[in-house]
Amino acid sequence: MTPAPPPASLLDASLGRPTPLAADRPSAATAVLTELDGRTVALFRVHGAGATADGSVEAEVVVRAFEIATEAGCPVVGLVHSVVVPPTEGGLAGLVAWGRVAQRAVALSGVVPLILVVTGPCHGGLAPLFGLADHVVLVRGATTYINGPKPVAAVTGLRRTPEDLGGAAVHATVTGLASLLADDEEDALAAVAELLHHLPDNNLSEPPPGPTDDPTDRACSAGPAAVPASPSAAYDVRDVIEDVVDRGSFLEVHAHHAPNMVTGYARIGSRSIAIVANQPWVRAGTIDIAASVKAARHVQAADSAGLPIVTFVDTPGYEPGRDLEWRGMIRHGAKLVHAYGEAVVPRICVILRKAYGGAYIVMDSRDLGSDLVLAWPGAEIAVMGAPGAVAILNRREIASAADPEAERLRLEDEYRLAYCTPRIAAERGYVDQVIDPADTRRIVAAALERLRHKRRERPARRHSNGPL
C-alpha cells in the first residue's frame, strides 16, 4: 500500500502543543505529539546546535520526545540535521546530555518503534545513536560518520570526501545503516509512514490491518513458475514473496545491503508479518557475515515488535573463504541462530529448493524452534548437495570409470533421489508437510491464523548473552 503524502507542514497536524523548549527555540529543536499519515507519533526535529553552544538543549528536546512517546505509547520519529557537539569547554555538558538521549533510546528499545531521518550532515560522537534506531531513513545528500575527512587524512594519509565516508549510498550498501533512502524530507516522511503501516504503536499493541481484496486461499502461480527446476539456476526470490503475500504489500528494507539475503515487511490476510529469505539471484543465496547480521537484526526487530516471521529458504550453505573465517564467520553466523532461537513470535519456514548443512539449521529449522516447516516437492534437504557428496564418497569409483563424467552424473542423480528429497526429512519430523507450491499462500495464511495467540515464555533471567 502506498501511503498518502504527509501534511505540508507536519506540525500543523499537531495533536498537542510544543514543549516549552521547542516553543523557546523553534528553529533549533522541537518535540511534539502529532500525526503522520493517520498515526500518532512523538515527533522531534533537531537542526544544528544553534540554540546553545553545546547542543544540550537540543538533547533535552529529544529526551522530551522520548518521554512523550512513553506516556502516549506511540512511535518516535526524529528528523536530524547538523548535530555537532563543539570542542569547547562547554561541550562537555552537551556530551552528558546526549548520553542521556542514548540511555533513553536503549530504554525505549522494544517498547515503541524509533525511526530516525537524517536530512543533512550529522557527524562525530553522536552518530552511533543512529545505530540504536529501529530504522534509519537517509535523505540523498545527507552524511553521517564518526571521524571526518580531516582525521582520516591525518591518521591514514588518505583523502576522503564526506560522501565517501558516510554518504547515503555508503550506508545503503556497505554499512547497512539505512533501511530506506529518500529524495528529500517529504519523501523521507512518506517512507516513515510506509514503515509505520507495518509496525505497532508499542509492544502491547498490533499493527493496524491493511485493506486488501486479495483472498487468502488464492493459488500461487507466479512464484512457483519463477523457481527453476535446476538447483543451480538463479532466480529472484522476491517473485515468490510477492506471490505469497497480499498483493502490493511487500516493503523491502536494507535492499542494497547484503543483497544475498532479503528482508522486509508484508501482509498476509491484512496482518503484518516480517520476511526473511535467501536470494539465489545473488551469489547463489549463500550466507556470509553481512547477510547473517542483516537477517539477525531483522528477526530480532520483528520479535520485539510482535510480528510473525515467514522465512523462505533456498541456500547451498555458508559462503566459503579464508577472509570470512578470519573476520569471524562463526561468531557473526551465530547471531542469526541466536535471533531465531530467542524469537517467541509465530515462525513459519518454507523450503523452496535447497537447504544444506549449517545453513539449513540457521534458516529457522524445525529444531531451532520454528512452529511450522513446509517444503516444496523439489526441495533438497541434506548435509550437502549431490555434487559435493559424490565428490567425497565416490572419488575412486569415478576416477576408475570408463567415462568418469557420465559416472559422476549418474551417481549424483542417485544421491539426489536417495538423500536430497524432502520425503526423508518429513518422515523423520524435520519437515511438517510437503506441499503443492500453489497452496503456499493458503497454508501459510491458515497457520498464521492458528498461531495468532501463540504464547511462549522465556526462562527467568536478566537477559541472554548473545554473540554481539
The residue type found at 128 is P
Q: Is 125 a catalytic residue?
A: yes
Rounded to the nearest 5°, which phi and psi values hold at 158? -95, 135
User: What is the C-alpha to C-alpha distance for residues 24 and 21, in angstroms, rounded to an integer?
Assistant: 5
- Identify the active-site residue in 78, 124, 223, 269: 124
Catalytic residue among 48, 50, 110, 125: 125
Residue 267, SS3 per DSSP: strand
Q: Which residues pair with 347 in a beta bridge?
A: 309
421/389 Cα distance (integer angstroms): 14
Query: Can 248 be counted among the known catalytic residues?
Result: no
Q: Is the alpha carbon torsion for 296, 300, 301, 303 positive or negative?
A: positive
Q: Cell 557527524 belongs to which residue?
A: 123
DSSP 8-class letter at 287: B
DSSP assignment, residue 122? E
User: Per DSSP, what are the bridge partners of residue 312?
Assistant: 277, 350
Q: Are 302 and 274 in contact (CB under 8 A)?
A: yes
The CA radius of gyration of the chain, in Å to the nearest whole number, is 25
> Which one is catalytic: 148, 358, 388, 466?
358
Helices (H), 7-74: 20-24, 56-72
131 in active site = no
Give the whole-angstrom CA distance, residue 461 versus residue 438. Answer: 43
The DSSP secondary structure of 406-422, one letter per residue, reads HHHHHHHHHHHHHHSSH
Exactly one of 182, 296, 339, 359 is catalytic; name it: 359
Q: Is 264 known to be catalytic? A: no
Q: What residues are labeled active site?
A: 124-125, 358-359
